[in-house]
Structure 1
Amino acid sequence: MDNTDSPLLDALFNVIAQHGWRGVTVGRLSAAAGIPAGELVRRFPSRLDLLRLHADSVADQVAAGTVPGQGGTPRDRVFDVLMRGIDALLPHRAGMLRLASDMWRDPVLAGALAPILQRSMERMLDAAELESSGLQGKLRAAGLVGVWIMTVRAWEKDETADLGSTMAALDRALDRAEQTARSLRLDPGDRAVPVSED
């Protein structure tokens, strides 16, 4: 993401916080971002393009903070990258919470966001140095989407400075993902979220 897009994302989530997802219009976003409406429409024909930009921004921040060959168990690495993903959401917390609230109530929006979340979790797996390609990678990313959603649900209610409740929820979500994989008797490489094997 171009650094010049940061003010645009700030404007996007300010508009979402005030008006909700359905209230994101070209006029409001243009006024909030100080960008001509024509340029916005040219660069982002769909509002979802802006959410893709934001998802890429979050993944870029997580990748930038990742040390190659970081070590630790796969579960530890997944935990680390997802919590850093939550940290990257903090500057837009109010808008993110409004967007999440809208998504829980709007199945059409949830369906539109699904491929964005899938791609985002594939990039999180990459940051955790876990395979994200092929069928196994797709299954892992799909499992990680569920873990991410449970974590965000906890983050919505977490007002603590250290995000202790969010971290605890993420830990529980990873436990459930691992238990599900075992109950389905999947081979370790086929687990939706690889939390115990390299």
Structure 2
Amino acid sequence: MSKDRFERDLIKAAFDLAAQQGWRRVSVAAAARHGGLDLAMARQHFVCTGMILARFGRAADVHALHGAMTEGVVRDRLFDIIMRRFDYLQQHRDGVIALIRYAPTDPLLALWLQRTNLASMGWILEGAGVSSRGVRGELRKRGLLAVSAWALRAWMRDESEDLSSTMAALDVALMRADQAANQFSGRRGDAMDAAIEPVTAPDAPDAPFVPDDDPDRPS
């Protein structure tokens, strides 16, 4: 079995286990046993459970960016990329929801997830043709994280095959972000063609600052 195939199988096993028994039960060894995978290979490729989440998040970003829209206004490109990311999450839906529900009970995990999700927002912005560098880039990432968090709540409740409720929530959140950017910049039309400025969705969590030397930052 190739390394890439083994990693995909172990990640799937981890989220399947989380769906059945809760994220608290997930470890590299437990996931390997659950998926009938070789423990030695699991130890070789995954140092800890956090690495499973890191590889999962990276795979979600790659799926979102691959084949994403390159034409049209920024708002439409962001919508396309974020929905592609939800399509990936949907493949592991029950396990992802188990992780989200468990995270508030583990402050270090919750902080780490916020940090890595903020880095993912940088890649989504870059994929849509918006810079994620510098102070303005940090503000844009925070704003997009709030948008994504609002859509995530809808996704957790969305049982439709086409994720129509998630798409509607994301569209509303991006519209509000666009309105906020218009007010902030004084522009009319698609203000997000220039930038996403600090925006907040209702009840969206704050995101921690990611330093310039973050290894997950797009180069």
Q: Please give the range of the TM-score, normalised by the shorter of the 2 chains.
A: 0.7 to 0.9
Of the three residues 15, 38, 41, the one matched with 1:39 is 41
Aligned-pair CA distance for 1:180: 4.4
More helix by share: 1
Q: 2:140 touches 2:195 (CA, 8 Å); kept in 1?
A: no
Aligned to 1:196: none
CA distance in 2 between partners of 1:169 and 1:61 (Å): 21
Aligned-pair CA distance for 1:134: 2.2
CA distance in 2 between partners of 1:141 and 1:171 (Å): 17
CA distance in 2 between partners of 1:42 and 1:63 (Å): 28
CA distance in 1 between partners of 2:151 and 2:107 (Å): 19
Aligned to 2:125: 125
The letter of the residue matching 2:78 is V
Of the three residues 59, 63, 86, the one matched with 2:61 is 59
Higher RCO (C-alpha 8 Å, min separation 6): 1
CA distance in 2 between partners of 1:93 and 1:113 (Å): 17
175 and 107 in structure 1: CA distance in 2 versus 1, 3 angstrom threshold: farther
1:137 correspondence with 2:120:
no
TM normalised by structure 2 equals 0.77
Q: What whole-Å deviation, never above 9, does each CA across 1:49-85 have from its counterpart, x for those lacking one?
A: 1111011101111222225xx2211111111110111
Aligned to 1:166: 166
After alignment, is 168-177 or 31-40 more displaced?
Answer: 31-40
113 and 170 in structure 1: CA distance in 2 versus 1, 3 angstrom threshold: same
After alignment, is 56-65 or 168-177 more displaced?
Answer: 168-177
CA distance in 2 between partners of 1:22 and 1:180 (Å): 39
Aligned-pair CA distance for 1:138: 2.2
The letter of the residue matching 2:118 is Q
Aligned to 1:48: 50
The letter of the residue matching 2:72 is G
Aligned-pair CA distance for 1:97: 1.2
The letter of the residue matching 1:81 is I
Aligned-pair CA distance for 1:34: 3.2
41 and 125 in structure 1: CA distance in 2 versus 1, 3 angstrom threshold: same
TM normalised by structure 1 equals 0.84
Count of residues in correspondence between the two structures:
190
CA distance in 2 between partners of 1:42 and 1:6 (Å): 14
1:88 correspondence with 2:88:
yes
The letter of the residue matching 1:64 is H
Aligned to 1:191: 197
- What secondary structure does 1:2 align onto? helix
26 and 3 in structure 1: CA distance in 2 versus 1, 3 angstrom threshold: closer
CA distance in 2 between partners of 1:164 and 1:104 (Å): 27
Q: CA RMSD in A?
A: 2.3
Q: Gaps (5+ residues) in structure 2?
A: 187-193, 200-219
Aligned-pair CA distance for 1:4: 4.0
1:79 correspondence with 2:79:
yes
CA distance in 1 between partners of 2:144 and 2:46 (Å): 28
